[in-house]
């Protein structure tokens, strides 16, 4: 919040003059984030910026905006277990859309268990220990 408030204080100073006006940033003033020309960022420009940053960071797979949305939803769900809250944050009209994240969460948990638990790879029905 502090970073956004600081940005809003200087945003109008960094906006170029909009053609046909004498006011810096007259038309894109409502945009929170702006591009080089003082205009709103497009979906494509955001996608390109996120991808460039992921490649600069040396991530194995290029990141895209929806991946950030998915990570956000998964982390909130893991920390709070509040499916309705995640539904609201994501703007899903139907709870079944949000429930996809619980299935993905379970799959991740199952893979982590299989990788870490010493008995995960034992065959059932063998002469091993009992429950």
Helix (H, G, I), strand (E, B) or coil at 81: coil
Q: Give the integer Cα–Cα distance in Å for 3 and 101.
A: 30
Helix (H, G, I), strand (E, B) or coil at 71: helix
Q: What is the dihedral of CA 115, 117, 123, 127, to 10 degrees?
A: 160
By CB atoms closer than 10 A (0-12, 13-18, 19+), residue 25 is: buried
Cβ distance 39 to 22 under 8 Å? Answer: no
pTM: 0.53
Cβ distance 45 to 35 under 8 Å? Answer: yes
Q: Give the integer Cα–Cα distance in Å for 45 and 83.
A: 31
By CB atoms closer than 10 A (0-12, 13-18, 19+), residue 77 is: buried
For the chain, 131 residues long, give each residue's pLDDT as a single digit of tens: 999 989 888 877 766 555 544 544 444 456 788 777 777 888 898 999 999 999 999 988 888 888 888 888 888 887 787 888 888 888 888 888 877 777 666 666 566 667 776 766 665 554 444 44
């Amino acid at each position: 919040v502090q970073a956004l408030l600081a940005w809003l204080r200087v945003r109008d100073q960094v906006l170029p003059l909009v053609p046909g006006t004498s006011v810096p940033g007259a038309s894109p003033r409502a945009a929170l984030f702006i591009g080089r020309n003082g205009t709103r960022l497009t979906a494509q420009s955001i996608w390109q910026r996120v991808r460039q940053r992921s490649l600069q960071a040396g991530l194995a797979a290029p990141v895209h905006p929806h991946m950030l949305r998915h990570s956000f939803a998964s982390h909130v769900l893991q920390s709070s277990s509040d499916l309705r809250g995640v539904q609201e944050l994501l703007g899903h009209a139907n709870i079944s859309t949000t429930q996809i994240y619980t299935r993905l969460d379970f799959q991740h948990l199952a893979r982590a268990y299989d990788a870490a638990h010493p008995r995960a790879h034992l065959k059932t029905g063998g002469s091993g220990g009992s429950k």
